[in-house]
Structure 1
Amino acid sequence: MAVEDVLRLAHVLGATVLFGTGVGIAFFMVMAVRTREPRIVAHVAGIVVIADTVFTATAVVLQPLTGYWLARSIGWPLNEGWIILSLVLYVIVGLFWLPVVWIQIRLRNMARHAAAKAAPLPPAFYRLYRIWVAFGFPAFFAVVAIFWLMLTKPALF
């Protein structure tokens, strides 16, 4: 197997982990919050924080590295329009993801506190949760756009 094949595989796997973990986290968190049960929300949010730390954060670091090495190995100029736009979108995803990580930790902590007190989730939880949901949409569509750019490599500028 050629170096380019290994790099391409690593890059695609990293993109898959980023996308799959993001969609999975969103699904399980939404389903947990729909129960309105603090114990369930606390448990799922705890797993979400771990998954984001283990899988998403690792892929976030490795993805640009494998992309760079792959581009250099194949000979793609880094100033190609589709590469530049992919990187811009990647930064946008990061700008939405970083606050989401903090929000997930806060949501977990609020749910744990409510569960320990046998109280309902507080209104502040739902306000923060709505921000968490809202931040997911631009990040999701930006990742989809990056996939499209990687697959089509359009001549942009």
Structure 2
Amino acid sequence: MIELATVLKLLHVLGATVLLGTGAGIAFFMVMANRTRDARAIAHVAQTVVIADFIFTASAVLLQPVTGWLLARTGSYPLTEGWIGLSLVLYLLVGACWLPVVWIQIQMRNLARAAADDHAPLPDRYDRLYRVWFYLGFPAFAGVIAIIWLMLAKPSVAIGF
């Protein structure tokens, strides 16, 4: 018989994998599309990226705290345990980066669509948004990697909760 804790661990690891993998895939495809400077290609890729973020990333974002909380309960870990508390803080940091990124992706898609429809170059606003999108990715990826490390290592961390 499969234990509940094993199922929860599997779901939690799958959620973390989806967050990291989808994020990396989205970043790669958006960067590659942006390099073309082809508004039609960028609009198409950005549309796919927005859909992927809503289907995959959003699902994992919702799954992670639920499975994490259930794992903490089944493993008798208090949520104030140092590594869990630090993971939660990092999760909020990642979310604070991801939420504007989703909005930015939608804006970049819309700007690229408009430029493609008008047979015009990408506007300066697109480039400004792209830079913000690009730089928000670094703390988000670092945060997800750090959370995965904390989840695996469970180090003794004193953070004063």
Stretches of structure 1 lacking an aligned partner (at least 5 in a row): none
Stretches of structure 2 lacking an aligned partner (at least 5 in a row): none
Q: How many equivalent residue pairs? A: 157
CA offsets, 1:57-116, max 9 Å, x none?
Answer: 111011100000011112112211000000000000000100001000000000000000
Root-mean-square deviation (CA, aligned residues, Å) is 0.6
**Partner of 1:18 in structure 2?**
19
**Partner of 2:10 in structure 1?**
9
**Partner of 1:121 in structure 2?**
122
Letter in 1 for 2:64: Q
Letter in 2 for 1:145: A
Measure, in 2, the Cα distance between the counterparts of 1:88 and 1:50.
Answer: 27
TM-score w.r.t. structure 2 length? 0.96
TM-score w.r.t. structure 1 length? 0.99
Measure, in 2, the Cα distance between the counterparts of 1:13 and 1:47.
Answer: 21
Percentage identity across paired residues of the two chains: 64
**Partner of 2:58 in structure 1?**
57
Measure, in 2, the Cα distance between the counterparts of 1:70 and 1:156.
Answer: 19
Matched, 1:79 2:80: yes
Measure, in 1, the Cα distance between the counterparts of 2:125 and 2:79.
Answer: 44
